């Protein structure tokens, strides 16, 4: 799979651990995130991830900021993007099964690194159920 990842200053350590896991599993990763804890603006790192997903350059995206909210809001401005804020594995699974989410947003200040890695792995390995959920997903776009 091709996966794009972006993060602000709250997520360099999270990104590093997630990228290591993804590459160990043979995924191709495009990194738009900062490697610094110096304050940066999350839209600068979330927007390119969303663009990759919307344009089909990436199968999935991962975005990380302190609360996960701002970077998720940024990603969701792109047509064809369904970014889901996830703080536990079960939410990540449901975001894929029921919402066909194509970007996972991780709140670095409210999850641990092992928890984030587990969420990403579950997110990428869960299929959309379709069926009754498809009608709802079709109504998401403006």
**Residue 65 appears among annotated catalytic residues:** yes
Query: CA-to-CA distance for 130 and 142, rounded, in angstroms?
Result: 20
**Residue in 16, 65, 14, 20 with CA at minimum distance from that of residue 44:** 65
**Residue 98 appears among annotated catalytic residues:** yes
- Helix, coil or strand: residue 55: coil
Looking at the chain, how many residues does it have? 142
Catalytic choice (27, 65, 86, 133): 65
Q: Which residue has the tokens 């009754």?
A: 132
Query: CA-to-CA distance for 7 and 26, rounded, in angstroms?
Result: 21
At 58, list the tokens.
């990436």
| Paired strand residues for 105 | 63, 85
Query: CA-to-CA distance for 93 and 95, rounded, in angstroms?
Result: 5
Question: Any idea which residues carry the catalytic annotation?
Answer: 65, 98
């Amino acid at each position: 799979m091709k996966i794009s990842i972006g993060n602000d200053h709250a997520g360099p350590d999270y990104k590093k651990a997630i990228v290591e896991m993804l590459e160990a599993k043979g995924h191709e990763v495009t990194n738009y995130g900062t490697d610094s804890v110096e304050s940066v603006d999350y839209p600068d790192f979330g927007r390119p991830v969303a663009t990759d997903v919307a344009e089909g350059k990436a199968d999935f995206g991962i975005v990380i900021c302190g609360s996960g909210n701002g970077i998720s809001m940024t990603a969701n401005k792109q047509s064809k993007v369904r970014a889901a804020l996830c703080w536990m594995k079960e939410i990540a699974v449901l975001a894929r099964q029921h919402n066909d989410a194509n970007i996972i947003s991780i709140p670095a200040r409210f999850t641990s690194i092992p928890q984030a890695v587990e969420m990403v792995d579950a997110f990428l390995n869960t299929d959309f159920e379709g069926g009754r959920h498809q009608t709802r997903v079709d109504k998401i776009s403006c």
